[in-house]
Structure 1
Protein backbone atom coordinates (compact mmCIF):
# COMPACT_ATOMS: atom_id res chain seq x y z
CA UNK A 1 0.00 0.00 0.00
CA UNK A 2 1.31 3.42 -0.97
CA UNK A 3 0.63 6.61 0.99
CA UNK A 4 1.21 10.02 -0.58
CA UNK A 5 0.65 13.22 1.39
CA UNK A 6 1.34 16.36 -0.63
CA UNK A 7 2.19 19.76 0.80
CA UNK A 8 2.40 23.30 -0.60
CA UNK A 9 5.38 24.83 1.20
CA UNK A 10 6.48 28.46 0.80
CA UNK A 11 10.21 28.70 0.09
CA UNK A 12 10.72 30.61 3.33
CA UNK A 13 9.47 27.58 5.28
CA UNK A 14 11.24 24.83 3.34
CA UNK A 15 14.13 24.28 5.79
CA UNK A 16 11.77 23.91 8.75
CA UNK A 17 9.50 21.70 6.66
CA UNK A 18 12.38 19.33 5.87
CA UNK A 19 13.23 19.00 9.59
CA UNK A 20 9.59 18.31 10.45
CA UNK A 21 9.34 15.87 7.54
CA UNK A 22 12.30 13.93 8.95
CA UNK A 23 10.57 13.77 12.33
CA UNK A 24 7.36 12.49 10.74
CA UNK A 25 9.19 9.81 8.75
CA UNK A 26 11.13 8.74 11.86
CA UNK A 27 7.84 8.38 13.75
CA UNK A 28 6.20 6.46 10.91
CA UNK A 29 9.25 4.20 10.50
CA UNK A 30 8.89 3.07 14.11
CA UNK A 31 5.33 1.81 13.47
CA UNK A 32 4.36 -1.79 12.65
CA UNK A 33 3.82 -2.46 8.95
CA UNK A 34 6.10 0.34 7.72
CA UNK A 35 8.22 -0.69 4.72
CA UNK A 36 9.92 2.50 3.49
CA UNK A 37 9.42 6.20 3.05
CA UNK A 38 10.82 9.38 1.56
CA UNK A 39 10.37 13.11 1.51
CA UNK A 40 10.39 14.47 -2.05
CA UNK A 41 10.22 17.85 -3.74
CA UNK A 42 8.72 18.53 -7.16
CA UNK A 43 11.27 19.20 -9.87
CA UNK A 44 8.82 21.45 -11.74
CA UNK A 45 7.10 23.20 -8.82
CA UNK A 46 9.58 23.68 -5.94
CA UNK A 47 6.80 24.60 -3.49
CA UNK A 48 5.16 21.19 -3.96
CA UNK A 49 6.44 18.45 -1.66
CA UNK A 50 5.37 14.86 -1.02
CA UNK A 51 5.75 12.60 1.98
CA UNK A 52 5.62 9.10 0.48
CA UNK A 53 5.53 5.88 2.46
CA UNK A 54 4.88 2.22 1.76
CA UNK A 55 3.01 -0.11 4.12
CA UNK A 56 2.06 -3.74 4.47
CA UNK A 57 -1.59 -2.65 4.38
CA UNK A 58 -4.04 0.21 4.87
CA UNK A 59 -4.75 -0.73 8.49
CA UNK A 60 -1.08 -0.33 9.40
CA UNK A 61 -0.99 3.07 7.69
CA UNK A 62 -4.12 4.35 9.40
CA UNK A 63 -2.90 3.26 12.84
CA UNK A 64 0.50 4.86 12.14
CA UNK A 65 -1.21 8.16 11.32
CA UNK A 66 -2.68 8.16 14.82
CA UNK A 67 0.77 7.59 16.30
CA UNK A 68 2.29 10.37 14.16
CA UNK A 69 -0.53 12.86 14.72
CA UNK A 70 1.47 15.17 17.01
CA UNK A 71 4.46 15.25 14.63
CA UNK A 72 2.17 15.92 11.67
CA UNK A 73 -0.02 18.54 13.31
CA UNK A 74 2.25 21.60 12.66
CA UNK A 75 2.25 20.83 8.92
CA UNK A 76 -1.49 20.24 8.51
CA UNK A 77 -2.07 23.78 7.24
CA UNK A 78 0.33 23.05 4.36
CA UNK A 79 -1.29 19.72 3.35
CA UNK A 80 -3.14 19.37 0.07
CA UNK A 81 -6.61 18.10 0.99
CA UNK A 82 -6.89 14.92 -1.07
CA UNK A 83 -6.97 11.14 -0.54
CA UNK A 84 -3.58 9.78 0.48
CA UNK A 85 -3.90 5.97 0.58
CA UNK A 86 -3.48 3.91 -2.60
CA UNK A 87 -3.61 0.14 -2.90
CA UNK A 88 -1.23 -1.70 -5.21
CA UNK A 89 -3.01 -2.87 -8.34
CA UNK A 90 -0.03 -3.82 -10.47
CA UNK A 91 3.39 -3.56 -8.82
CA UNK A 92 6.45 -3.90 -11.05
CA UNK A 93 9.91 -3.97 -9.48
CA UNK A 94 12.92 -2.76 -11.44
CA UNK A 95 15.74 -5.10 -12.40
Structure 2
Protein backbone atom coordinates (compact mmCIF):
# COMPACT_ATOMS: atom_id res chain seq x y z
CA UNK A 1 0.00 0.00 0.00
CA UNK A 2 1.10 3.57 -0.26
CA UNK A 3 0.41 6.55 1.93
CA UNK A 4 0.39 10.07 0.56
CA UNK A 5 0.40 13.15 2.77
CA UNK A 6 0.22 16.56 1.11
CA UNK A 7 1.15 19.84 2.75
CA UNK A 8 0.69 23.52 1.94
CA UNK A 9 3.76 25.36 3.26
CA UNK A 10 4.62 29.05 3.12
CA UNK A 11 7.62 29.59 0.83
CA UNK A 12 9.60 31.21 3.62
CA UNK A 13 9.36 27.98 5.63
CA UNK A 14 10.28 25.62 2.78
CA UNK A 15 13.85 24.81 3.86
CA UNK A 16 12.84 24.16 7.47
CA UNK A 17 9.84 22.10 6.37
CA UNK A 18 11.94 19.98 4.03
CA UNK A 19 14.26 19.18 6.93
CA UNK A 20 11.26 18.20 9.08
CA UNK A 21 9.99 15.96 6.27
CA UNK A 22 13.38 14.24 6.12
CA UNK A 23 13.28 13.54 9.86
CA UNK A 24 9.74 12.16 9.56
CA UNK A 25 10.71 9.96 6.63
CA UNK A 26 13.73 8.64 8.53
CA UNK A 27 11.53 7.72 11.51
CA UNK A 28 9.02 5.94 9.28
CA UNK A 29 11.77 4.13 7.37
CA UNK A 30 12.90 2.39 10.57
CA UNK A 31 9.56 0.62 10.97
CA UNK A 32 8.81 -2.97 10.00
CA UNK A 33 7.03 -3.19 6.67
CA UNK A 34 8.44 0.05 5.26
CA UNK A 35 9.41 -0.42 1.59
CA UNK A 36 10.43 3.05 0.41
CA UNK A 37 9.56 6.71 0.70
CA UNK A 38 10.09 10.01 -1.00
CA UNK A 39 9.59 13.72 -0.51
CA UNK A 40 8.47 16.03 -3.29
CA UNK A 41 7.78 19.68 -3.93
CA UNK A 42 5.18 20.56 -6.56
CA UNK A 43 6.66 21.98 -9.76
CA UNK A 44 3.74 24.31 -10.49
CA UNK A 45 2.83 25.42 -6.96
CA UNK A 46 6.03 25.45 -4.93
CA UNK A 47 4.10 25.83 -1.66
CA UNK A 48 2.77 22.27 -2.06
CA UNK A 49 4.83 19.36 -0.69
CA UNK A 50 4.23 15.64 -0.42
CA UNK A 51 5.49 12.74 1.64
CA UNK A 52 4.88 9.40 -0.09
CA UNK A 53 5.64 6.13 1.66
CA UNK A 54 5.24 2.56 0.41
CA UNK A 55 4.43 -0.29 2.81
CA UNK A 56 4.16 -4.06 2.62
CA UNK A 57 0.54 -3.82 3.79
CA UNK A 58 -1.90 -1.55 5.58
CA UNK A 59 -1.19 -3.24 8.92
CA UNK A 60 2.49 -2.32 8.70
CA UNK A 61 1.57 1.31 8.02
CA UNK A 62 -0.88 1.48 10.89
CA UNK A 63 1.54 -0.15 13.31
CA UNK A 64 4.23 2.34 12.25
CA UNK A 65 1.96 5.19 13.29
CA UNK A 66 1.99 3.73 16.82
CA UNK A 67 5.78 3.51 17.00
CA UNK A 68 7.25 5.85 19.66
CA UNK A 69 9.91 7.28 17.33
CA UNK A 70 7.24 8.00 14.71
CA UNK A 71 4.99 9.57 17.35
CA UNK A 72 7.82 11.95 18.28
CA UNK A 73 9.28 12.69 14.84
CA UNK A 74 6.54 12.20 12.25
CA UNK A 75 3.06 12.47 13.76
CA UNK A 76 3.35 16.20 14.64
CA UNK A 77 4.29 16.88 11.02
CA UNK A 78 1.61 14.55 9.61
CA UNK A 79 -0.96 16.42 11.68
CA UNK A 80 -0.23 19.46 9.49
CA UNK A 81 -1.15 17.60 6.28
CA UNK A 82 -4.03 18.69 4.09
CA UNK A 83 -7.13 16.93 5.42
CA UNK A 84 -7.86 14.32 2.76
CA UNK A 85 -7.72 10.53 2.46
CA UNK A 86 -4.12 9.41 1.99
CA UNK A 87 -3.97 5.59 2.09
CA UNK A 88 -4.03 3.79 -1.27
CA UNK A 89 -3.92 0.17 -2.29
CA UNK A 90 -1.40 -0.67 -5.00
CA UNK A 91 -3.01 -2.84 -7.67
CA UNK A 92 0.34 -4.30 -8.72
CA UNK A 93 3.71 -5.32 -7.30
CA UNK A 94 7.07 -3.89 -8.29
Contact 1:39 1:49 in 2 (8 A): yes
Alignment of 1:26-41 (within 5 A): 26-41=26-41
Q: Could you tell me how far apart the structure 2 residues matched to 1:27 and 1:4 are?
A: 16
Q: Could you tell me how far apart the structure 1 residues matched to 2:32 and 2:19 are?
A: 23
Q: TM-score, length-normalised on structure 1?
A: 0.87
Where does structure 2 lack aligned partners over 5 or more consecutive residues? Answer: none
After TM superposition, give the deviation of residue 46 of structure 1 in Å: 0.5
- The residue that corresponds to 1:62 in the other structure is 62
Contact 1:33 1:60 in 2 (8 A): yes
Contact 1:11 1:47 in 2 (8 A): yes
Instruction: Name the CA shift for 1:13/1:74 in 2 (closer, same or farther; >3 Å).
Output: farther
Q: Could you tell me how far apart the structure 2 residues matched to 1:54 and 1:24 are?
A: 14
Q: How many residues align?
A: 92
Instruction: Name the CA shift for 1:75/1:37 in 2 (closer, same or farther; >3 Å).
Output: same
CA RMSD of the aligned region, Å?
1.6
Where does structure 1 lack aligned partners over 5 or more consecutive residues? Answer: none
Q: More displaced, 73-82 or 53-62?
A: 73-82
Q: TM-score, length-normalised on structure 2?
A: 0.88
Contact 2:4 2:86 in 1 (8 A): yes
